[in-house]
Structure 1
Amino acid sequence: MSTTGENVEVAVIGAGSIGLAVAYYLVREYGVSRIALIDPRDPMSLTSAQSGENYRNWWPNPTMTAFTDDSIRLMEEIARETGNRINMTRRGYALVTRREDPHDLIEDLYRGYAGQADTLIRFHNGSNPHSSYRPASSAAWEDAPEGVDVLCDRSLIRQTFPAYAEDVATVLHVRRAGSISGQQLGQYMLEQIKAAGGKLIRGELVAIEGTSPFGLSVSTGDGNLLIGAESVVNAAGPFLKDVARMLGEDLPVSCIYQQKISFEDHERAVPRSLPFSIDLDGQTLDWTEEERAILAEDPTTSRLTQFITGGIHCRPDGAETGKWIKLGWAFNERPSNPHEPEPMDNYFPDIVLRAASRLQPALKTYIGRLPRGAHHYGGYYTLTEENWPLIGPMKTPGAFVAGALSGFGTMAACASGSICAAWVTGNEPASYARRLSLERHNDPAFMAELTALQGRGLL
């Protein structure tokens, strides 16, 4: 049985961090109150629930740096307004390598910070006084400096980060970086949306008819609900392509499943004051000869005996006085269908522990003996080939997209919401916004430039 629902100005498909942010900034910046958030699940319960909840303004391109800088600024506004309800911290990102001259990483820094690079990038080596560098003395985001400190002095690295392995030669300490509570951010936004008159509709979108105004058919527990909407925003996360097909379109995205673990660090292997630490160096995992032989015999595990690209990351999780830590490694490159069962890898906890212990040797104590209550989980990175988001108009008049934010959805949600809200209401978005939209794919020279980048900022 079908029932007719009310007409709304904007229907946002997806109540994850991005969909909530779009609706929030429609309310906050443009006074749009007749909004329907449509999702069959609880808000923030799918991909957003698996977020690492980190943020940084480090990117190998000035457009993405400006984009995340804006998003961090917007998160700071919310932190101020709410008494830091979102638990914003700023101990930074520590990008670590054993290379003494990582010129490609330095080039990426200069490219990303562009005209501000000379003032924002600071080098600390044997000829540079150590007194000019200070690690984060507290987790307070208001106290942290801007820019990045490049530590090229092994003695300074050992003094500052004694938990790291002794072979570390260079640390890039990105300072405008840290963590937030993505769930609290989403909950705050949802409260503001509802207070302004917006509605959350629990149901599965099954069809979109016509063009602006659109007719949306939503399957709910009480039957089929028909909703009229002047504009539609596709913020469906891993299901972006599904919604696009309902509009007769295709989007150039794929879904790649990535995993993490978290557990109580009873042995205090990871200092609570440690920045979010990323080992940039690839490695061959340290198996025993017997383990290596067993793994090599099975085609499904033989890859674990081969060289794996870098990007293993670790950080303290929760309160300063807590014990939990998170480990992740986005090394999977095989796309998956988000409609199928999640491709959870039972080997992952052991893999990530072995890899992380190369940078932080004290973690070896947990190999083969994870604490009771350890959490192994995963989520989909929905991404374009160049790993840039899609925010802006779709081909269908009145339809917009906000997604493909792979592993940076939480940190970029605010800017994504603000930019998309501007597009929806016919206002001028940020100066760089067209580069984040589908429009960039019509510029072969720009796309070739992105393809030529040494890194995609994928962590």
Structure 2
Amino acid sequence: MNRNDVQVAVIGAGSIGLAVAYYLIRKYGVSRIALVDPRDPMSLTSAQSGENYRNWWPHPVMTAFTNDSIRLLEEIARETGNRINMTRRGYALVTRRNDPSDLIADLYQGYADESETHIRIHKGNGPHVTYKPAVSAAWEDAPKGVDVLCDQTLIRQTFPAFATDVGTVLHVRHAGSISGQQLGQYMLEMIRAAGGQLIRGEVVAIDGASPFDLSIRTHDQVISLRADRIVNAAGPYLKDVAKLMDEDLPVSCVYQQKIAFEDQEGAVPRNLPFSIDLDGQTLNWTSEECAILAEDPATARLTEFISGGIHCRPDGAEGGKWIKLGWAFNERASEPREAEPREDYFPDIVLRAASRLQPALRAYVGHLPRGAHHYGGYYTMTEENWPLIGPMRTPGAFVAGALSGFGTMAACSTGLICADWVMGGQLVPYARTLSPSRYQDPAIMADLAAAQNRGVL
């Protein structure tokens, strides 16, 4: 067995592991660092990212957390000439309700002390001089906060592709898209330039505690790595790595699917924000289709009412044609070491569901363009849908994960907070509530248990 000695070993080279290593180097100058992963960097869950970001959350801690991460993304965009392709057309959260008081209450809770300046409600038929649609994709020019459009005339003027029965649009402005792959590649380049190692192999044993002896199985041998500290950033395999230290983490893996294809019909305007239909629905099957689906237990649920959250947005350059659609309606946990539970019928049902909000998409139901991409990835998540960032029980071991569907947008903040934990630096005020120690805090757990909205999109 070969041996290397490092100050920090980061297990997992996805967006989170790369961000942890990046900020250990950038903020603390850690020179002896290793990323350990059996796969290419950014090739598992990170490769399936929707590549969106938003600061809308129904809790002020998560709002502050993602605000900080967006600020760090902006720093990288400035430093690199926007290599990460940051845009800011926002999120359009859509409902057919005319007075969604619960959603507006979530806004006020999430924005907390900034609510008065960050929440703008537009009603009536008068001129809406305070609301400016996302004319430009430039992130520097976009306003903060959220515009709540309760006027159907204004909604039709601003979002003509939406169905005419839309009653309210929550236009979250501090939101948009980035290239997650470019972000990861930039961080990897900085890590390598600082002397960081990338070890292709799977950690199969962890002995000791600060320093640790890691046994790593590569394609042809088992090597040994000694590390003063380790970071478990293994994405869907967080629990597996924790078990190597006789620990358990309260996470599960839920597989979610997406499709992407060339919008040959021009059904989705290129300037449309990332749009999410919040309303649940029963899909519009024929009686014959419904009977066939009901016969199979695996598809019978598709004939029933399904919760909302259908995603749609333009993908790629402003002058491009591709679009992405997703629907995170699955709630069943899966084992990530088994075959991916991809469902052949998913493209059809997500198109049926999305066409309720954007009727022009009906042209693709049963006629998905050639070259369409059907893919999926795991939401690794806690019950409350908050991340785990901070010390594990084993001295010298830390975790950075459980970021379900918000890993790309929160990678920077996660990396920086974890780096502060690892190096004993000054923590942001909310850091402890995002760490595993929150489960010993009855007040915060009661607060989370009482929440009606976990921010799952």
Q: Aligning the two structures, in what range does the TM-score lie when normalised by the shorter sequence? A: over 0.9
Which one of 231, 242, 254 corresponds to residue 240 of structure 2? 242
Cα pair 1:3 1:223 within 8 Å, conserved = no
Aligned-partner residue type, residue 72 of structure 2:
L
Aligned-partner residue type, residue 287 of structure 1:
W
Residue in 1 aligned with 2:33? 35
Aligned-partner residue type, residue 214 of structure 1:
F
How much does 1:139 deviate?
0.6
Distance in 2 between residues matched to 1:444 and 1:334, nearest whole Å? 27
Which one of 325, 331, 334 corresponds to residue 333 of structure 1? 331
Distance in 1 between residues matched to 2:349 and 2:263, nearest whole Å? 17
Moved over 2 A (4+): none
Residue in 2 aligned with 1:3? 2
Instruction: In structure 1, list runs of 5 or more residues that go unmatched.
Output: none
SS in 2 for 1:216: strand
Residue in 2 aligned with 1:196? 194
Aligned-partner residue type, residue 199 of structure 1:
Q
Percent identity of equivalent pairs: 76
Distance in 2 between residues matched to 1:221 and 1:359, nearest whole Å? 49
Residue in 2 aligned with 1:291? 289
Distance in 2 between residues matched to 1:431 and 1:401, nearest whole Å? 18
Matched, 1:60 2:55: no
Matched, 1:229 2:233: no
SS in 2 for 1:301: helix
How much does 1:222 deviate?
3.6
Residue in 2 aligned with 1:154? 152
Residue in 1 aligned with 2:92? 94
Residue in 2 aligned with 1:420? 418
The superposition leaves residues 122-167 of structure 1 with CA deviations (integer Å, 9 ceiling, x where unpaired) of 0111165322211111110001000000000000000100000000
Aligned-partner residue type, residue 311 of structure 1:
G
- Greater CA drift, 105-114 or 426-435: 426-435
Distance in 2 between residues matched to 1:259 and 1:287, nearest whole Å? 21
Cα pair 2:125 2:151 within 8 Å, conserved = no
Distance in 2 between residues matched to 1:128 and 1:162, nearest whole Å? 19
SS in 1 for 2:18: helix
Aligned-partner residue type, residue 82 of structure 1:
T
Residue in 2 aligned with 1:108? 106
Which one of 275, 281, 284 corresponds to residue 277 of structure 1? 275
Superposed, 1:301-316 pairs within 5 Å as 301-316=299-314
Superposed, 1:430-449 pairs within 5 Å as 430-449=428-447
SS in 2 for 1:131: coil
SS in 1 for 2:2: strand
How much does 1:289 deviate?
1.4
Distance in 1 between residues matched to 2:437 and 2:92, nearest whole Å? 34
Aligned-partner residue type, residue 188 of structure 2:
L
Aligned-partner residue type, residue 46 of structure 2:
S
The superposition leaves residues 37-96 of structure 1 with CA deviations (integer Å, 9 ceiling, x where unpaired) of 000000000000000000000000000000000000000000000000000000000000
Residue in 2 aligned with 1:215? 213
Distance in 2 between residues matched to 1:363 and 1:202, nearest whole Å? 43
The superposition leaves residues 356-415 of structure 1 with CA deviations (integer Å, 9 ceiling, x where unpaired) of 000000000000000000000000000000000000000000000000000000000000
Cα pair 2:390 2:436 within 8 Å, conserved = yes
Which one of 43, 60, 69 corresponds to residue 67 of structure 2? 69
Aligned-partner residue type, residue 133 of structure 1:
Y
Distance in 2 between residues matched to 1:419 and 1:268, nearest whole Å? 42
* TM-score, length basis structure 1: 0.99
Cα pair 2:232 2:399 within 8 Å, conserved = yes
Instruction: In structure 2, list runs of 5 or more residues that go unmatched.
Output: none
Distance in 2 between residues matched to 1:297 and 1:250, nearest whole Å? 39
Matched, 1:322 2:288: no
Distance in 2 between residues matched to 1:339 and 1:413, nearest whole Å? 24
Which one of 15, 19, 22 corresponds to residue 21 of structure 1? 19
Cα pair 2:389 2:434 within 8 Å, conserved = yes
- Greater CA drift, 62-71 or 297-306: 297-306
How much does 1:300 deviate?
1.4
Residue in 2 aligned with 1:187? 185
Superposed, 1:327-366 pairs within 5 Å as 327-366=325-364
Distance in 2 between residues matched to 1:435 and 1:120, nearest whole Å? 24
Residue in 1 aligned with 2:400? 402
Cα pair 1:104 1:454 within 8 Å, conserved = no
Aligned-partner residue type, residue 329 of structure 2:
F
Residue in 2 aligned with 1:393? 391
How much does 1:221 deviate?
2.2
Aligned alpha-carbon RMSD (Å): 0.7
